[in-house]
Amino acid sequence: MDTFTTLHYLAKGSTMQRNAFSVLTCHNIMPLLGGYTPVLAGTFPLDIAVVGSDLDILCYWKDAEAFKKDLAQHFSGFDGFTLREAIINNQKSIITNFFADGMEIEIFGQNIPATQQFGYHHMVIEYQILQQEGVDFKRKIIALKQSGIKTEPAFAQLLGLDGDPYHALLEYTF
């Protein structure tokens, strides 16, 4: 799905999307990550972000140490910078968080192309659900998120999906 592979849609989107576009472009975030085929995923592309939502950027690294070095070099000067490793979905994952202009940014990298990572798949499925279910469903998702419920659990709750909401969404059929 090419819809989410550039940031142009953000520049013409909601106030929150335009703010996200401004932060990302002002700080050259995506060009600095260019060697890792960055893709913005999550709530901002779907226009369901709420106050406190972070910008989730998925990256594909081939050399974990080089990726960590680049993250530290480019972003360690930002407020709240952290860098950690974790095993997520049986994959080595490198995650960095920081704040730019008051907005939290999370960069999530795996040795898997960004458009094949679970975060991207979740977003595409959520996009399709939002298109199918319409404006009222979107408003309910946003209301659940404003009450503190994370995105995938909010979708699972409204769709009546059982079990782990992250896996249930990946198996959702239309």
pTM as predicted: 0.95
- Residue 4 is predicted with a pLDDT of 81
Is 90 exceeded by the pLDDT of residue 1? no
Q: How far is residue 24 CA from its own chain's centroid?
A: 13
Sheet with 103-110: list strands edge to edge.
39-41, 55-60, 103-110, 91-100, 79-88
- Residue 24 is predicted with a pLDDT of 97
Q: Which two tokens stand for residue 15?
A: 């106030």
Q: By the 8 A CB rule, do 42 and 56 touch?
A: yes
DSSP H or E segment with residue 64: helix 64-75
Dump pLDDT digits (tens) for 80-132. 999 999 999 899 999 999 999 999 999 999 999 999 999 999 999 999 999 99
Dump pLDDT digits (tens) for 48-91. 999 999 999 999 999 999 999 999 999 999 999 999 999 998 99
For the chain, domains (ranges, CATH) are 2-170 (3.30.460.10)
DSSP letter for 53, please: P
